[in-house]
Amino acid sequence: MNKKDLAELKKHFFPEDDLLVVEKVFSTFIDSEKTQRFRTVRTFAEIPQEEMSVLYTTLEKVLKGTLGKGLIEYPFPNETYEEDQPQNLLWELLQKGLTDEEQMDKFVAHITEKMVYTLPYALFVAQCTYTVFEKNKFGEKNKYDAREFHFLVGAVCPVESRVDGLIYDEDENNIIRKTKFDRVVADAPTDGFLFPTFTGRGPDVNHVMYFTKKPKDPNVSIIEDVLGCQFILSAEEEKETFRAVLDKAVGEELNLNVIASVNEKIQDYAKTFANEPEPPVVSDIFVRDVLLDSGVSQECAEEAQKLYQEATEGNYFMASNLTDSKTTLSSEGITVNISGDPTDRITTREIDGRRFLMISLDNQEVTVNGFQMKIQ
């Protein structure tokens, strides 16, 4: 599933759309003891408009992540299609249209047993149908040639108990302390999924899309235990692994000029291919060549290529995950952030045996704790 496929689904995911319809919504509340307290399946027509609007907002957020960061596509291992295994459970839910009580029991039991979650939560699963019109070579739709893409969108939303303190009580005509608490379902899901994926404008039942609100801290239990997939590194972990490879391989040759050059070259590469259907990835050969172009020795560049290949096992990291929009320099309580190329603004110098980091200024004015001042 690429950016173009995802954009097509997102474009049509709103209540008034004629081509993408939410047919049914399954809702359940699981308490902190992993007990199911409530469950219902309703058709679109049964849900009040105000509530449906909130549900659409919640489910839509599952599709709004960035591919490779908040949205990651996972292949199902072969064994997950066996009976009562994750892929099979999702497939049966989809085929039976959220109507089979026994199947729903299995699905909820699987979720509550396998998922690690610190708060009570609400789980929403929507059964959706998108009418896909075929397109000619010019990208024009053929209104006489269409097929249906049936899919599930799931969202896990935390539920928090809220006591708002003092309230105005109309019956007593007085301001009193609120004694009852509300269990408020967050409209922003922490996790979610799309099954099957929409690949090449059609279903791919052998892949599932996982959504996380926190790309730096995904819920691995959902990926591995609920969905049955093999976890891959998050965007932040890819960056940290890449840094570790360069640090180990390049060593003393890793200076400000090299760091800035590598960052700039990967950024340029990511921008050049940003509109391609598949997000650009950084190969081991690319790592070697970028380091050589940045002035690193042949020996260190080839060592980095080797270590990177071993770290990724051929599943190369996304270019957009490996770069920084600004350069941050830190040392003993001092942090300096610099946008753009830092090499023409920063120099190091030794004066009277002390080392200094020199920053050139385009003008005399600087801001210190919000105050404007001039450097004489």
Cα–Cα distances in Å, from 207 out to 112, 199, 298? 22, 9, 40
Tell me: the pLDDT tens digits for 55-109?
Answer: 999 999 999 888 888 999 999 988 777 888 999 999 999 999 998 999 999 999 9
* Band of residue 1 on the pLDDT scale cut at 50, 70, 90: confident
Tell me: the pLDDT tens digits for 133-186?
Answer: 887 777 777 777 889 999 999 999 999 887 777 877 888 888 888 777 778 888
Query: Above 80 in pLDDT, residue 341?
Result: no
User: What's the average model confidence in pLDDT over 269-281?
Assistant: 85
pTM as predicted: 0.79
Tell me: the pLDDT tens digits for 5-37?
Answer: 999 999 999 888 989 999 999 999 999 999 999
Q: 268's torsion region: left (phi>0), alpha (psi -120 to 50) or beta?
A: alpha
DSSP secondary structure, 221-267, as one string: HIIIIIS-------HHHHHHHHHHHHHHHHGGG--HHHHHHHHHHHH
At 19 the pLDDT is 93
Query: CA quadruple 335, 340, 345, 350: dihedral positive or negative?
Result: positive
3-state secondary structure of 78: helix
Tell me: the pLDDT tens digits for 250-259?
Answer: 988 988 889 9
Show the CA angle centred on residue 114, arms to residues 109 and 119, nearest 5°. Answer: 95
Q: What is the DSSP letter of 279?
A: P
Query: Above 70 in pLDDT, residue 330?
Result: yes
Query: CA quadruple 367, 371, 374, 376: dihedral positive or negative?
Result: negative
Cα–Cα distances in Å, from 318 out to 117, 237, 262, 283, 309? 29, 12, 15, 9, 14
Find, among 204, 63, 210, 186, the residue nearest to 123 by Cα.
186
3-state secondary structure of 310: helix
Output the CA torsion 292→296→302→303 (10° steps): -150
**All residues at 6 or more sequence positions from 217 whose CB lies less than 8 Å from its CB, including other chains:** 234
Percent of the chain topping pLDDT 70: 98
The answer to whether 321 and 69 have CB atoms below 8 angstroms apart is: yes
How far is 289 from 315, CA to CA, in rounded Å?
18
At 376 the pLDDT is 67
* 30-47 as b/e: b if 16+ CB within 10 A: beeeeeeeeeebbebeeb
At 266 the pLDDT is 94
